[in-house]
């Protein structure tokens, strides 16, 4: 088959789509974040823009002056790394532009579940688990943090201590009892 009829892309990572592995935000919603999560994303954006990207541009510029670019590893790797950095900068720009910082400490003392709550619940087998409801870009399941758009968070949102909620799982409906709701203390 002629090369004219096949699509070969040498720049597979140049799409403007969302980062691989992160679920998309529901259409028309805000990107809720804690102040700490926003600060982390902003710091990553600034580090890429002000430190890493200029350093790679300098390396690519130096490598380009060394002659044959087709066999120049520094040049090829540098160009690839620049594409990765630019893709991440576009992603961060989009996420930060629609970010809505919600301070969970404003609900300190409340027993109702909102964004930022630290919730302890028990399932039907009596197993207890504690989770923190955070933004999609800052949640880490290994740390017991879930995104506010996850099924467990959606089932728990607006419930109060002592309430029973129903979680739809692949195995059917599971009843969860809310045991405790906490929020971080306000910073002074």
For the segment 62-98, what is each residue's pLDDT rounded down to a tens digit? 888 887 777 778 888 999 999 999 999 999 999 999 9
Q: What is the structure's pLDDT at 20?
A: 52
Q: Give the predicted TM-score (pTM) of the model.
A: 0.77
Q: What is the structure's pLDDT at 22?
A: 62
Q: What is the structure's pLDDT at 70?
A: 74
Q: Which of 47-61, 63-77, 88-102, 136-150 has the lowest mean pLDDT?
A: 63-77
The CATH number assigned to the domain with range 30-101 reads: 1.10.287.180
- Which residues of the chain are in CATH 3.10.50.30 domains? 104-182
Task: Label residue 46 exposed, middle or buried (CB < 10 Å: 0-12, 13-18, 19+).
Answer: exposed
* CA neighbor of 159 nearest in space, from 129, 117, 127, 103: 117
117-156 as b/e: b if 16+ CB within 10 A: bbbebeeeeeeeeebbbbbbbbbeeeeebbbbbbebbbbb
Residue 159, both tokens: 């419930």
CATH architecture of 104-182: Roll (3.10)
Task: Label residue 10 exposed, middle or buried (CB < 10 Å: 0-12, 13-18, 19+).
Answer: exposed
* Mean pLDDT (the chain, rounded): 86
Helix orientation angle between 73-97 and 53-64, rounded to the nearest 10 degrees:
150
pLDDT at 45 over 50: yes
Residue 163 Cα to chain centre, angstroms? 29
Residues 10-42 have pLDDT tens digits of: 444 434 445 555 667 777 777 899 999 999 999
- Which residues of the chain are in CATH 1.10.287.180 domains? 30-101
Which H or E run includes 32?
A: strand 31-33
Q: How far apart are CA 30 and CA 174, in angstroms?
A: 29
Q: Percentage of residues in the chain with pLDDT exceeding 70?
A: 87
């Amino acid at each position: 088959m002629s090369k004219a009829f096949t699509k070969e892309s040498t720049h597979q990572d140049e799409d403007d789509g969302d980062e691989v592995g992160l679920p998309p935000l529901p259409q028309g919603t805000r990107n809720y974040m804690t102040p700490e999560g926003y600060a982390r994303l902003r710091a990553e954006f600034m580090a890429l823009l002000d430190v890493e990207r200029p350093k790679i541009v300098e390396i690519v510029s130096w490598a380009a002056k060394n002659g044959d670019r087709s066999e120049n590893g520094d040049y090829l790797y540098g160009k690839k790394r620049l594409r990765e950095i630019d893709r991440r900068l576009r992603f961060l720009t989009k996420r930060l532009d629609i970010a809505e910082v919600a301070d969970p400490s404003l609900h300190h003392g409340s027993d109702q579940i909102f964004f930022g709550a630290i919730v302890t619940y028990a399932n039907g087998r009596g197993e207890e688990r504690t989770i923190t409801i955070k933004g999609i870009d800052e949640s880490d399941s290994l740390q017991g943090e879930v995104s506010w758009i996850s099924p467990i968070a959606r089932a728990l949102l607006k419930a109060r201590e002592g309430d029973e909620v129903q979680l739809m799982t692949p195995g059917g409906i599971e009843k969860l009892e809310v045991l405790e709701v906490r929020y971080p203390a306000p910073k002074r």
